Structure 1
Amino acid sequence: MLNALEAFNPDIILIEGPPDAEALIPLVLNAEMHPPVALLVYQPKQLELASFFPFAEFSPEWQAMRYGLENRAPVRFMDLPMSLAFPMRELNAGAAAQGAKKQESRDPFGEIARLAGYSDPERWWDALVERQGEGGIFPVILELMSALREGNLLPESRETLLREAFMRQRIRETQKEQYQKIAVVCGAWHTPALAVEQFSASADAAPLKGLKKVKTEATWIPWSFDRLAAQSGYSAGVVAPAWYRVLWETTRTAEEPVSNPVARWLTQVAHLLREKDLTVSPAHVIEAVRLAEGLATLRRTTLPGIEELREAAVAVLCGGSEKPLELIDRQLVTGEVLGAVPATLPQPPLKADFEAQARSCRLAKNTQEKTLELDLRQEAQLKKSRLLHRLQLLGVPWGRVSEVGAGKQGGFHEHWQLKWLPDYEIRLIEAGTWGNTVEEAATHKASRRTRDSEDLPELTQVLGIALKADLPVLVPAILSKISAISALAKDTLMLADSVLPLAEVLRYGSARKMNLNTVEQLLDQIVPRVCLQLPAACTAVAEDVAGEIARKILSVNRALGILRAAAHEAAWQKTLGQISDVQGVSPLLAGLAARLLFDKGLRTATQTGDAMHYHLSHAQAPAEAAQWIEGFLYGSGLLLLHQQELWQTLDRWVREMPDEHFIELLPLLRRSFSRFPDPERQKMLDLVKSGGQPKSAAVSATDWDSARAEGVLALTKKIFGTPASG
């Protein structure tokens, strides 16, 4: 396209884009502007009405803007303004959806691609246009689009017709300004509709009159390659942004390419694989280039495309294995690239405050997931934690908290996974309705959320985030609401859900030196009620409900481990005893309670073995026995490995089970054992092979029963889902 512009030397350039953002075009040449970026046009009073217009460095529109600015040719946007499109889009949302569905069912590009032997229109367009060079391609595109649109066989939506009418009007206005050489950069589909001499000016003006108009604002925002790829198709996206960047960088001059893009891309693949300790030699790269070019020749294209490159990479560089493809696709097909915009760009107050805080905290946006370890005893790292938690309250989950690594004091450490998405830019603008700074907006939004919510777990979650976000002004109102709801709550399971968040509030509060006496008082009210009412909630429940209650029991157990309050622990131990022993309790929950009692040292191995023997006896239904085992083994099978009596009881139950019962219960047993880590499962299999004796024990020939060992080995492999020959 650049060659065509240079040959034409236009007086003015019109680009398919929103005139609302025309004033931002000069920023394209700003030294701090690094594509991919996007124009964001939005309605300030109704922020859900927003549109993104993304550009990569190799986008024709981006290059046209740069060419015009560098050659002092005026550059204008010519599409229907979003100030007119937003009201129309809102009113016709249902009709537009139906129109889109109809157009999708009769996709002209898709039909031509299939006739040409391509699986999708993206690859057809890539082979037809992107890889064939520019010589004479524009007249061919115009002829093809004219044929596709001839006879109005595929009726356009009202919005498309209005857009094209507006574009023709813009061309006429430009002609009236005495511009002679007008270059138009637009999507191929629109080209036949922009021959203004074939349309009446009055007919174009008529439907544009009376359209409702709203106020819009626009700005540049960073974009990413993965978002460009996600918008492929008619959304004007790019299937393989990282590959097209290589293609652009190596073929952007009018002369011969400065390097071979195929060799360059495959060399990057080789470097990537070497970083993962895979052996790839220069000879491999040479052979891969030859294979890709050979495939392109067979498929009658002048240059290999991403399909040929991927096939060559798998066959030669990956030794036929497709396992590395995910890594190659992520880094070298899509690409992990995030653009940047000038820091001086005018922006809403809250977004400006966010950018300033992010710079102060030395937090850089990145579309690739990054790990961040924070020590809250250091002020600089505590500051990062506050910002990330405040953003969570605003619905901008830049960071996600995960479990603190082993060996670190959980109360003073946070482990974050950071990943920035371009969509967060519009969320920050939306959050501006709550305040002009991150702190103010987070406070107001959390306050409204507290006022509107009647859900106890949600309120405890908000309380925890508010404290971690250092917004103490919110705490009294949230605690008051939690206290009022919990006092009247009759749902035991809802109360149980609130215990762990409140316990974590105490833990994090102590790390931040906060006075949380009210939280302690709340727990003193809630925990006894949970302990008293939970056994009844565990009786006569369905299997799926029992699974949900099991997670709540584990949550409360973890919370009381954090609190370490003797009175609460004593009440909880009594509750577990009731759940374990009372008739009518779900077998899954009874087994879980028995396991927790054993882990706490409240039941001996002998007592636990007696309980297991009872629940696995012939008097119990096989399905109920299997559920008890599932609950007892919840989370870890180490107990069976270290307690021979328990292992032998389970072993005997499995061996004595009738075949029809075993086949019936096999899926449930597999589910139980599949939750164990692979090393634990392997140790259990080794234990079976050794006849139930640990490897460290000395086994004499007289102790070994080969027939018994062979008999249970096949059953154990079925339970583990291990092949019989394994």
Structure 2
Amino acid sequence: MRETIAAHRPAHVLVEGPADFTGRIGELLLAHTPPLAIFSYVRDAARTRLSWAPFCDYSPEWIALTEGRAAGAQVRFIDLPGWRAADTENVYADAERRYADATERLCRALSVDNVDVLWDHLVEAHPYEGLAERLNAYFDLVRGEADAGAEDTAREEYMARWVAAAAARDDGPVVVVVGGFHRPALVARLANADGDTIPEWPTVPDVPEGTETGSYLVPYSNRRLDAFTGYASGMPSPGYYQRLWESGPREAAAGLVADVVTRLRARRQPVSTADLISAKALAEGLATLRGHPHPARTDVLDGLVSALVSDALEQPLPWSARGPLQPGAHPVVVEMVAALTGDRTGRLHPDTPAPPLVGAVAAELTALDLDGSRDVRLDLTDSTDLRRSRVLHRLRVLRVPGVERKSGGDTTAAERWQLTTSDQREPALIEAAARGGTLPDAAAGTLADRADRRNEVGSLAGLLYDAALCGLADLAGDLTTRVADGVASARELGPLGAALRVALGLWRHDRLLGTAGSALLGTVVTTATTRALWLAEGIRGGDVPAEPARLRALAAVRDAVRDGGAALGLDVESAIGVGGRLVANQDAPPDLRGAGLGLCWALGAAVTPSDAVPRAPAVLGDWLAGLFAVAREEVLDDGGLTSVLDELVRALSAHEFLVALPALRQAFEFFPPAERERFATALVARHGGEGSGRGLLRVRADPVLVAGGAAIEEAIDEMLTRAGLADL
């Protein structure tokens, strides 16, 4: 690109980019540090849509802008405005998905894994010899077999009008910078253009009535660019290509190896000099085998894996099948991907225009003493701290980096937050401005947008709680109505229970948030409680594992009936009746039978829990999970149940205990550590010991492993006894 502009000294440089930003190209040419992006949005009554057009140091568009302006050319963007392509993470990444068939055939023909390796093989490994011819052949092939679609057809027609207008002026050469996918179509359109008239410059499309649009520059990062991290940008390994751009192929390969080794050694992964020599030799050999004059990206990566990974890999290497790393990836591969990505983050020049939200948030954080890095403790009964809390919750909802709540919520009036400075805060706030011009409006817009994308009642209730924490009363009212509609028709007990917990908490406790005693919330609680009891009684399933979500739902029913029954008209006897029927129904899952007993017990019914404990090891833990989830406090105060459980568990064989252990462990997870210690202390005393049972909770060996060993020993003893060898 640089050589083309220097050789032709064009009068016009036309770049694929949002035409509505042409008048602001001067902002792009400030002394920024790429990567950066043009962020565009459009907001109407229905939704907000977003798009990003990123630039790296080595982006052809970036070089065209900077070199074209330096050469004195008229530089223009010629694509449809960014808001027309909104909802696309990167407006230059979509074409590849449409010509996959052609590239897949090329990959098979050239024996490479994917389009990224294909590009390295065709272009990066041979950067100079016949490059233009290879690129033309490549894009003619893939475009010739791909359907452009209506959106691309409109874009190409618009770009062709700009090119035709520039060429018709005959005041000097015209350099056009577009994605290779569009080149054949533009060439064909221009060949059929009328050469007898000088067309007018195209106009920028008008913004539709009733919509708001905007565009701003935002700092970008290599992580957002990298396809391996899950973004849709389509740029693999930006850190590596930055090295390639700056230093050339051999230095890029050496730098990648050095970076991987440094990262591995920092994490105490052994890498010897012999390993490095082996990796280099393997990379050189692979390059020769693949016909590359020097090691390309995948040559280096494959060489490193061969030299440093000796055990079997459980998943494909990410550069052989583009996509984010999956959990359980080999640590060497993890560090290789991190080295490929790099940690480069762009910076904008201080004079770059920003939406008012950025400055408003900075001013508010300073005024409330919330700027910088610090640990913040808030007392929500204090009016200033309540205001601080709402500001921080609004930033949390917007997912602004460096704002994390460490504790608080539910019935407590205390919160603790950890604030840290982050270079990602500025782009997050710029992008948040698409949702609203002020912090409350941006938070409300974000929550409303999430609500529009979620139909599940539990998720809607979570958004309702967030709206209350943010002090967004109007939005909270709308969400409450939607939650009320959702609970009346809910079909799943778990999500319904989540909604009930949120609504009950806001109705019962949150005088600070202004929701306590709300009539609409009271209706939600009443409807959800009745619906939950009805759903629970209809569940069948036999001896299926415990489901914590539905157990939490019945715990919420307990709280609603016990704490709000009188005010909300919830009948205790009706709830006890449902609990009793659950206990008696052998077709119900064991966790619900235990939860039914717990519901009766917690609501004051006369029950004898120790007589109801099932003896079968396969269902014991699940039944206890239900009981503990709903009647935890009652269980702690009942010494007789502890004794029964002790006797029952002691009577289990080693094999039976091994079968019961996973569900038993899950059941006792319903008790916090201090309460589990109470159980352990009671068991120590029951067996004649003294002092705390805390030591029983700190066993270093895995209990499942210990139980498995005991079962094996028991089986061996039985075999020896049958063979008459037990006394030897």
TM over 0.5: yes
Map 1:262-661; keep pairs closer than 5 Å: 262-281=253-272, 284-317=275-308, 323-325=330-332, 327-342=334-349, 344-350=351-357, 353-354=360-361, 374-377=376-379, 385-391=389-395, 396-398=398-400, 404=406, 411-414=413-416, 428-432=432-436, 436-440=437-441, 442=443, 461=462, 464-471=465-472, 497=498, 500-501=501-502, 505=506, 518=517, 538-543=536-541, 547=547, 548-555=549-556, 578=579, 582-584=583-585, 586=588, 587-592=590-595, 609-612=610-613, 615-616=614-615, 628=623, 631=626, 646=645, 649-650=648-649
8 Å CA contact 1:57–1:245 kept in 2: the answer is yes
1:126 Cα deviation (Å)?
A: 1.6
1:200 alignment counterpart: 192
8 Å CA contact 2:35–2:57 kept in 1: the answer is yes
2:175 alignment counterpart: 183
1:329 Cα deviation (Å)?
A: 5.0
Tell me how far apart the structure 2 counterparts of residues 117 and 448 of structure 1 sit (CA, whole Å).
45
Deviations 1:198-233 (A, max 9, x none): 712239999999999432653323333344334999
Tell me how far apart the structure 2 counterparts of residues 381 and 169 of structure 1 sit (CA, whole Å).
58
Question: Do structure 1's residue 52 and structure 2's residue 52 form an aligned pair?
Answer: yes
Q: Secondary structure at the match of 1:260?
A: helix
1:66 Cα deviation (Å)?
A: 1.9
Map 1:29-178; keep pairs closer than 5 Å: 29-31=29-31, 33-43=32-42, 45=44, 48=48, 50-79=50-79, 81-82=80-81, 103-104=98-99, 106-107=101-102, 109-146=103-140, 154=146, 156-178=148-170
Q: Secondary structure at the match of 1:269?
A: helix
Q: Secondary structure at the match of 2:218?
A: strand
Letter in structure 2 aligned against 1:182: V
Q: 1:448 to 1:199 in 2, by over 3 A?
A: closer
Deviations 1:142-199 (A, max 9, x none): 34544666xx555544554554454444334323444434333222334445558971
Q: Secondary structure at the match of 1:551?
A: helix
Q: Secondary structure at the match of 1:239?
A: coil
Tell me how far apart the structure 2 counterparts of residues 16 and 297 of structure 1 sit (CA, whole Å).
37
RMSD, aligned CA? 6.3
8 Å CA contact 1:464–1:504 kept in 2: the answer is no
2:682 alignment counterpart: none
8 Å CA contact 1:13–1:75 kept in 2: the answer is yes
8 Å CA contact 1:296–1:302 kept in 2: the answer is yes
8 Å CA contact 2:216–2:353 kept in 1: the answer is yes
Tell me how far apart the structure 1 counterparts of residues 719 and 219 of structure 2 sit (CA, whole Å).
61
Q: Secondary structure at the match of 1:54?
A: strand
Aligned positions, number: 647
Deviations 1:60-117 (A, max 9, x none): 11122122234443322234x3389669x99xxxxxx9x998x54643x332232111
8 Å CA contact 1:243–1:333 kept in 2: the answer is yes
2:706 alignment counterpart: 686
1:132 Cα deviation (Å)?
A: 1.7
Identity %: 23
Letter in structure 2 aligned against 1:246: R
Q: 1:431 to 1:113 in 2, by over 3 A?
A: same
8 Å CA contact 2:625–2:667 kept in 1: the answer is no
Deviations 1:564-600 (A, max 9, x none): x9xx9xx79x959955994238332232466799999
Question: Unpaired segments of 5 or more residues in structure 2?
Answer: 89-93, 208-212, 314-329, 670-697, 721-728
Which deviates more from structure 2 when the two are superposed, residues 500-509 or residues 55-64? 500-509
Question: Unpaired segments of 5 or more residues in structure 1?
Answer: 91-96, 252-256, 366-370, 692-704, 714-726
Q: 1:482 to 1:194 in 2, by over 3 A?
A: closer
Tell me how far apart the structure 2 counterparts of residues 359 and 382 of structure 1 sit (CA, whole Å).
16
Deviations 1:618-639 (A, max 9, x none): xxxx98778536645879x999
1:324 Cα deviation (Å)?
A: 1.1
Tell me how far apart the structure 2 counterparts of residues 461 and 399 of structure 1 sit (CA, whole Å).
21
Tell me how far apart the structure 2 counterparts of residues 211 and 319 of structure 1 sit (CA, whole Å).
61
Q: Secondary structure at the match of 1:53?
A: strand
Tell me how far apart the structure 2 counterparts of residues 245 and 22 of structure 1 sit (CA, whole Å).
27
8 Å CA contact 2:17–2:77 kept in 1: the answer is yes
Deviations 1:622-677 (A, max 9, x none): 98778536645879x999xx9685355257567899xxxx9xx97x9867768889
Q: 1:65 to 1:524 in 2, by over 3 A?
A: closer
Tell me how far apart the structure 2 counterparts of residues 168 and 480 of structure 1 sit (CA, whole Å).
51
Tell me how far apart the structure 2 counterparts of residues 450 and 162 of structure 1 sit (CA, whole Å).
33
Q: 1:541 to 1:230 in 2, by over 3 A?
A: same
8 Å CA contact 1:12–1:73 kept in 2: the answer is yes
Q: Secondary structure at the match of 1:218?
A: strand
Q: Quick one: which of 230, 234, 240 aligns to 1:243?
A: 240
Tell me how far apart the structure 1 counterparts of residues 533 and 231 of structure 2 sit (CA, whole Å).
58
Letter in structure 1 aligned against 2:193: A
2:91 alignment counterpart: none
Letter in structure 1 aligned against 2:181: W
1:537 Cα deviation (Å)?
A: 5.9
Which deviates more from structure 2 when the two are superposed, residues 312-321 or residues 528-537? 528-537
1:468 Cα deviation (Å)?
A: 2.4
Q: 1:631 to 1:389 in 2, by over 3 A?
A: same
Tell me how far apart the structure 2 counterparts of residues 62 and 48 of structure 1 sit (CA, whole Å).
28
2:252 alignment counterpart: 261
Which deviates more from structure 2 when the two are superposed, residues 132-141 or residues 491-500? 491-500
Q: 1:302 to 1:353 in 2, by over 3 A?
A: farther
Q: Secondary structure at the match of 1:78?
A: strand
8 Å CA contact 1:538–1:579 kept in 2: the answer is no
Letter in structure 1 aligned against 2:615: L
Tell me how far apart the structure 2 counterparts of residues 363 and 327 of structure 1 sit (CA, whole Å).
35
1:30 Cα deviation (Å)?
A: 1.6
Tell me how far apart the structure 1 counterparts of residues 74 and 202 of structure 2 sit (CA, whole Å).
29
8 Å CA contact 1:688–1:709 kept in 2: the answer is no
Q: Secondary structure at the match of 2:37?
A: strand
Q: 1:100 to 1:655 in 2, by over 3 A?
A: same
1:368 alignment counterpart: none
Deviations 1:374-394 (A, max 9, x none): 42249998766423422566x
Q: Secondary structure at the match of 1:76?
A: strand
Q: 1:373 to 1:502 in 2, by over 3 A?
A: farther
Q: Secondary structure at the match of 1:119?
A: coil
Q: 1:501 to 1:52 in 2, by over 3 A?
A: same
Q: 1:600 to 1:248 in 2, by over 3 A?
A: farther
Indicate the structure with greater helix content: 1
